[in-house]
Chain A
């Protein structure tokens, strides 16, 4: 399967040139770009691991691309990596864009567990196959 979280998962994997253009768009808007990684792709896993702080003060995309490449050296192929852009404007104060830049080589996906309960109701649990193994040894 292909994890479709993020704004561009239905497109072919973005090239570094395409990623840099998105980063520049965010910087031009005054948003702080953040790099995160995880090997737990559950859709409710909100808090991916931070690769350093959100970059509030980088002047252009090159700085972000450098950090992204550093993150890749440590985790590429074994983790998901995403970029997000944070807008501190009053009444927003949240993300404005989030997209996956790198994926594990193999994405086994999720099992849907069904627990039959009262009446015809079913309690559903989504579990990543990868999550059966300990963190850091999943992909």
Chain B
């Protein structure tokens, strides 16, 4: 039921709009019997009120400050359909095992948001409210994006299926590597690494997030040498190859110039960093659509606000925004590698990238059913501290629609970059073959790799070199709900 009562007595209205300060919960931002409409945007926040601040009032304040309210009553509300525009906090639950913090569910009417604009959506939902004094901390955990809003966005420029068709690669994860060292190589030397890695068996190489146009390597030089490397490797293998040319730059004009040059040279993919901002990302996504280009997004900077559970924005929200914004690739974690990534939370991100309908799954941090309404699929990228010896774990955890990026795990191979690339490719193909044959790759993985290494010396050397490398640290951003608990429901 929609709790807005359009026949409120005049008497009550007058007091609601008398000048002065009033509790947010009394201004209509707390409506416990409100039932969200199918077209509402819903956000769930983790709220940690200051000592002595009531959780309902704090939650209502978040609803108010992220929609129509200011700190005092304003009579100009009465010139608007203010009942509609007010965000409504309709549910507040304690966070399991975390005294002093609550999950607040807030519904927003669709009319509050400009169609197809992440800038506008985020300016509302995370605009002012994160600095609100009565709260110690605030985190945007998840959002339910109604189909009516999803359909106002273009979604990924290319998407997983069309990317695979363009690259002619089916049935296995794609393989990539980030060129290392990430800083200091000249264009000529950089292209050498790209050529060796692609010729050895990788599908992609990648610029790192901070490779733009520095004194040691200007961007045009990098692009020219990289495309020589891509084309030479392609002719040497008869297989489509690519390199993510990072077009991140100081201005939109510079980025367009770099992207145009990449297109002119025949590149199939360009890359941007998350730090360019939502508007620039959407602009580049539109450019990529117009120019048949795959668009890779590096999530540079995200851990500043996604990693700590108490305050910030969850990466699952960023993932949703980026699928709407229209990128084709997004770094979404490896679980086993060197960077933050709890297995359940990461599974949640991967589902949000790849599925058309993602059901609520609290154990994976997914608070709402999310219907993507045929929005193209976003290819997750696993990058950072992974190697061939983990292939069975990677395929088991991440599936096959993923780019596995072995940077050090390719370039650091004792017999050279081509050998490193070949080791990864052989490990991958052997594991997919075995999985499809019905073998239990989680348990038999090490044996499958050993068998494959019998006909592939580079793989044998890779397994030997990195046999003891693991990154077993506990994760910071973990789900609050364990599968067996009777969580918020």
Contacts and interface: CB of A to CB of B under 8 A. Distances in A.
Interface string A85-127: 1000011111111110000000001111000000011111010
A3 B238 contact: yes
A43 B455 contact: no
B238 A7 contact: no
Most chain A CB atoms below 10 A, which of B231, B356, B426, B455: B231
Contacts of A22: 433, 436-437
Contact of B237 (A4, A44, A90, A128): A4
Contacts of B201: 4, 10
Contacts of A42: 238
Interface residues of A, number: 43
A18 B433 contact: yes
Contacts of B265: 121
Contact of A1 (B236, B426, B436): B236
A97 B266 CA distance: 27
Nearest to B266: A124
Given A112-B231, A124-B227, A99 B171 contact: yes
Interface stretch (B162-170, B252-260, B410-418): B162-170
Interface string B425-450: 11001101100111000000000000
B377 interface: yes
Contact of B374 (A21, A44, A91, A112): A91
B235 A110 contact: yes
Interface range on chain B (Cβ under 8 Å from partner): 35 or more
Nearest to B433: A8
Nearest to B201: A10
A94 B239 contact: no
B236 A109 contact: yes
Contact of B231 (A92, A109, A124): A124
A46 B168 contact: yes
A122 B227 CA distance: 9
B476 to A, nearest CB: 33
Given A4-B201, A91-B377, A97-B171, A25 B438 contact: yes
B54 to A, nearest CB: 45
Given A5-B238, A84-B170, A121-B224, A95 B164 contact: yes
A121 B170 contact: no
B239 A7 contact: no
Q: Is the interface of B mostly helix, strand, loop or mixed?
A: helix
B213 interface: no
A21 B161 contact: no
Contact of B171 (A11, A46, A91, A98): A98
A9 to B, nearest CB: 8
Nearest to A93: B161
Contact of B356 (A5, A18, A44, A91): A91
Contacts of A52: none
Nearest to A89: B356
A8 B168 contact: no
B452 interface: yes
Contacts of B16: none
Contact of A98 (B170, B422, B436): B170
A94 B165 contact: yes
B172 interface: yes
Contacts of A126: 231, 234-235
A122 to B, nearest CB: 7
B299 interface: no
Contacts of B164: 94-95
A98 to B, nearest CB: 4
A4 B170 contact: no
Nearest to B261: A121
B192 interface: no
Contacts of A10: 201, 422, 425-426, 429, 456
A96 B165 CA distance: 10
Interface string B217-229: 0000000100110
A90 B161 CA distance: 11
Given A95-B164, A122-B228, A110 B238 contact: yes
B362 to A, nearest CB: 25
A130 to B, nearest CB: 11
8 contacts: A5-B239, A11-B426, A84-B170, A94-B161, A94-B170, A97-B171, A99-B171, A122-B227
4 closest A-B pairs by beta carbon, nearest first, are A97-B171, A112-B235, A124-B231, A25-B436
Given A7-B171, A11-B452, A14-B433, 18 more contacts: A1-B237, A5-B238, A5-B239, A7-B172, A8-B432, A10-B429, A10-B456, A11-B433, A21-B438, A22-B436, A43-B239, A46-B168, A94-B164, A95-B165, A97-B170, A110-B235, A126-B231, A128-B238
Interface of A: 1, 3-5, 7-12, 14, 18, 21-22, 25, 41-44, 46, 84-85, 90-99, 109-112, 120-124, 126, 128
